[in-house]
Chain A
Amino acid sequence: MADGTIGLWTVPLAVLGGAIRVSTPFLFVSLGECITERAGRINLGLEGTLVMGAMSAYGISYVTGSPWLGVLAAGITGALLGALHAGICSLPRVNDIAVGIALMLFGTGLAFYLGKPLIEPSAPHLPAIDFGWWSDVAQVRAALRINVLFLIGVALAPILYWAFRTTRWGLLIRTAGESADAARAMGHSVLMIRLRATMAGGFLAGIGGSFLSLFYPGSWNEGLSSGQGITAVALVIFARWDPMLCLWASLAFGGAAALGPALQSVGVTSGYHLFNAAPYILTLLIMIITCSPKRNLSGAPAELSITR
């Protein structure tokens, strides 16, 4: 490490770089979950979707040689898992949270099962754009090597924000989430809206997974995801179901997750695991502060089972 040149600046730089790199899966999963939850369903199975997405992206990228086909495959896999979730949830008296837990088990299990032969080979990675060309310092260049998927995710947040507010689809999703009866009275099938919203959510979560295996950390193994899918679901609550807040919260969570390794690199090793748990603790604290037995979380879709 060329540590002497920039000294303690390593930490904020690593946090910045980490915020950009680590936040991308958070960003995609949380935007996806945001769509699903706005429609009135909660999909806890996105952890499984993320891992399945990572596995299928890696596999397809390895077989075809095109990482972008891998990203597409991850999205499609995610959408299929979303359809499975929505399909089971549309049966009467089925608890969506429990289905999510089942799909979390199923998705990770299936990914490990199918991904066994993919641990050895190495697949082509996603390209990155070098925004750090102006600097001579290696750490700055490393921090500013930004993946295209991150930029897509950043662009997606305001698009979703706008779409929820102004488009017909956004309105339909929000209606299904706020009052299923109202959506029904308008002549729309709530189940169909939720099916599509859950599939869209799964699509984005799958893409988030492809980032894990095709860019950072950039390989396929069974320890690839350490609960990022769950964190992202919690992050949506943290972000009050607002796509723009999802973006900022993802960056903050990414930075928090990068803080542990960054501190470790300058010799602060104690508390490493506690820093890793920061996103979970933060989410829990936010829920404690903003919930009250009298009223719901502000901004929460009224049909959402966690707010009832």
Chain B
Amino acid sequence: MTSETADPAQAAGIAPAADPGFLQRHGGSIEYVLIPGAALIAALGVFGGFVALFGKNPLDLYFYMYYGAFGTWFSWQNTLTRAAPLILTALCTALPAQLGMVIIGGEGALLIGALCATSAALALQAMPPLVVQFSMVGAGMIGGGLWIMLAGALRQYRGVNETISSLLLVYIALAVLNHLVEGPLRDPASLNKPSTREIGAANMIGSIPGTDVHWGLLFGVVAAVAAYILIYHTTFGFAARVAGGNIRAAKIVGLSVGKLILSICFLAGACAGLAGMVEVAAVQGRTNANLAVGYGFTGILVAFLARQNPLAVIPVAILLGGIGASGGLLQRRLGLPDASVQVLQGIIFIFVLASDAIYGRIGFLKGRS
């Protein structure tokens, strides 16, 4: 999937050198685990205090959160199922972050990816399932990729801020989805909830044998590992990190910053688009407004909590997937509103960002975060 992108690395034409970021990265890795971990614990503490204000016992809260997320095999499966799209949408923020770009439009790319994947499946109904599934992966990734590449291109060629444009593109993507789902692509049989036609049971990607966790989790893990290798162990990734550290230096050594921005943004969007494809082909079976449940926005939090490291995205996504999975149990057992998960996510996000201020103070000078 994403490994095909090693090609532009050669195109960038830099001699493979010893990676100078390597030592630094491992020197600071304790800090990278310790500080977000402390931020997470502080956030959980504040959230515990918050629910205590409403007369709930914080210890019950922590127990049910643990139980609902990782307590049983059932909750583990629920957690992992939610982690799959989160890994992919987090990569949509983490990859451009290597270039110093803040892309927050993963939700939009997810929706466009889902639309493209569904359209591909509906157009190829007569084909064997494997062909349909591969086309869905391709269509979802290309759709999502081009969507975020648009934000990258606007940044590169027009100087439009990528954060704002990618956020605007989320709302535009949602409008496009609603328009197509209620108009040209609508299944006349879907009355209350306008949807596209179903892609067909045979074309669903199914579960990993022995579990209820769908194959999307594997897609996510493969994409994250591939992104990690790309960023830290290829010349392309090295070039990207150089450009992210200092654009002027990158230009002086002859890197094509424009190509880097466009290809990284494409890959980032492709990951989020793949998340959309996975949600269609493994969960929903069709495209409708149900897809816009905020995986794209939670993905931003995952990326920041993982310090934009593609490999760290995997455990962090599982953690936040677990928090999401425990929401149902918190509602049933403690009578907390369904928005509690969102409140907790917000608190975690605030603490993680505030903890950025601590990094220099423990030691380990870093080039950039």
Instruction: Using known A-B contacts A91-B356, A274-B179, A292-B158, determine if residue A112 contacts B342 with beta carbons closer than 8 Å.
Output: yes
Instruction: Using known A-B contacts A109-B339, A110-B343, A281-B172, determine if residue A288 contacts B160 with beta carbons closer than 8 Å.
Output: yes
A-B contact count (CB 8 A): 149
Instruction: Using known A-B contacts A102-B350, A113-B339, determine if residue A276 contacts B158 with beta carbons closer than 8 Å.
Output: no
Contact of A98 among B167, B178, B353 (CB under 8 A): B353
Q: Is B349 a contact of A102 with CB atoms below 8 Å? A: yes
Q: Is B337 a contact of A116 with CB atoms below 8 Å? A: yes
**A92 contacts across to B, CB distance below 8 A:** 357, 360
Bound Cα distance from A294 to B175, whole angstroms: 32
Contact of B183 among A222, A270, A293 (CB under 8 A): A270
Instruction: Using known A-B contacts A88-B353, A234-B168, determine if residue A93 contacts B369 with beta carbons closer than 8 Å.
Output: yes
List B residues 296-312 near A (Cβ within 8 Å).
Answer: 297, 300-301, 304
Instruction: Using known A-B contacts A97-B163, A98-B304, A273-B178, determine if residue A288 contacts B154 with beta carbons closer than 8 Å.
Output: yes
A108 at interface, CB cutoff 8 A:
yes
B169 at interface, CB cutoff 8 A:
yes
Q: Is B357 a contact of A105 with CB atoms below 8 Å? A: no
Bound Cα distance from A230 to B359, whole angstroms: 31
A62 at interface, CB cutoff 8 A:
no
Interface 1/0s, chain B 143-184, versus A by CB < 8 A?
000000000001011111101110111011011101100110
Count of interface residues, chain B, beta-carbon cutoff 8 Å:
50
Bound Cα distance from A44 to B164, whole angstroms: 9
Instruction: Using known A-B contacts A97-B163, A271-B179, A274-B175, determine if residue A112 contacts B339 with beta carbons closer than 8 Å.
Output: yes
Contact of A105 among B161, B167, B174, B345 (CB under 8 A): B345
Interface 1/0s, chain A 52-94, versus B by CB < 8 A?
0000000000000000000000000000000010001001111
**B169 contacts across to A, CB distance below 8 A:** 284
Instruction: Using known A-B contacts A109-B343, A110-B346, A291-B159, determine if residue A93 contacts B357 with beta carbons closer than 8 Å.
Output: yes
Contact of B102 among A97, A112, A233 (CB under 8 A): A97
Closest beta carbon of chain B to A70's beta carbon, Å: 21
B59 at interface, CB cutoff 8 A:
no
**A296 contacts across to B, CB distance below 8 A:** 159
Interface 1/0s, chain B 316-350, versus A by CB < 8 A?
00000000000000000000111111111111011
A95 at interface, CB cutoff 8 A:
yes
Q: Is A116 a contact of B179 with CB atoms below 8 Å? A: no
A217 at interface, CB cutoff 8 A:
no
Q: Is B349 a contact of A106 with CB atoms below 8 Å? A: yes
Interface 1/0s, chain A 101-121, versus B by CB < 8 A?
111011111111100100000
Interface 1/0s, chain A 288-308, versus B by CB < 8 A?
100111111000000000110
Closest beta carbon of chain A to B105's beta carbon, Å: 11
Closest beta carbon of chain B to A259's beta carbon, Å: 13
**A106 contacts across to B, CB distance below 8 A:** 342-343, 345-347, 349-350
A99 at interface, CB cutoff 8 A:
yes
Residue of B nearest to A279 (CB): B171
B354 at interface, CB cutoff 8 A:
yes
Instruction: Using known A-B contacts A273-B179, A284-B168, determine if residue A98 contacts B158 with beta carbons closer than 8 Å.
Output: no
Bound Cα distance from A281 to B176, whole angstroms: 11
B255 at interface, CB cutoff 8 A:
no
B104 at interface, CB cutoff 8 A:
yes
Interface centre among B154, B171, B360 (most CB of A within 10 A): B171
Q: Is A103 a contact of B346 with CB atoms below 8 Å? A: yes
Bound Cα distance from A295 to B158, whole angstroms: 10
A216 at interface, CB cutoff 8 A:
no
Instruction: Using known A-B contacts A112-B342, A270-B183, A306-B163, determine if residue A280 contacts B350 with beta carbons closer than 8 Å.
Output: no
Residue of A nearest to B340 (CB): A113
List B residues 211-233 near A (Cβ within 8 Å).
Answer: none
Residue of A nearest to B354 (CB): A88
Closest beta carbon of chain A to B167's beta carbon, Å: 6
Closest beta carbon of chain A to B149's beta carbon, Å: 15
A237 at interface, CB cutoff 8 A:
yes
**A102 contacts across to B, CB distance below 8 A:** 301, 346, 349-350, 352-353
Q: Is A105 a contact of B349 with CB atoms below 8 Å? A: yes
Residue of A nearest to B300 (CB): A101
**B174 contacts across to A, CB distance below 8 A:** 277
**B345 contacts across to A, CB distance below 8 A:** 105-106, 109
Q: Is A91 a contact of B168 with CB atoms below 8 Å? A: no
Instruction: Using known A-B contacts A113-B339, A277-B172, determine if residue A293 contacts B346 with beta carbons closer than 8 Å.
Output: no
Instruction: Using known A-B contacts A103-B350, A109-B343, A109-B345, determine if residue A280 contacts B161 with beta carbons closer than 8 Å.
Output: no
**A291 contacts across to B, CB distance below 8 A:** 154, 158-160
Bound Cα distance from A112 to B343, whole angstroms: 9
Q: Is A112 a contact of B337 with CB atoms below 8 Å? A: yes
Instruction: Using known A-B contacts A112-B337, A234-B168, A283-B168, determine if residue A93 contacts B343 with beta carbons closer than 8 Å.
Output: no
Interface 1/0s, chain A 231-273, versus B by CB < 8 A?
1011001000000000000000000000000000000001111
Q: Is B161 a contact of A306 with CB atoms below 8 Å? A: yes
Bound Cα distance from A44 to B344, whole angstroms: 19
Q: Is A284 a contact of B357 with CB atoms below 8 Å? A: no
Beyond A97-B163, A231-B171, 5 extra complex contacts between A and B, CB < 8 Å = A101-B349, A230-B171, A272-B179, A293-B156, A306-B163
> Could you write out 25 A-B pairs with CB less than 8 Å apart?
A84-B350, A88-B353, A94-B354, A101-B297, A102-B353, A105-B342, A106-B343, A106-B350, A108-B339, A109-B340, A109-B344, A113-B340, A230-B171, A272-B179, A277-B171, A277-B172, A280-B175, A284-B160, A284-B169, A287-B160, A288-B158, A291-B160, A293-B157, A293-B159, A306-B161
Binding site for A on B (CB under 8 A): 102, 104, 154, 156-161, 163-165, 167-169, 171-172, 174-176, 178-179, 182-183, 297, 300-301, 304, 336-347, 349-350, 352-354, 356-357, 359-360, 369
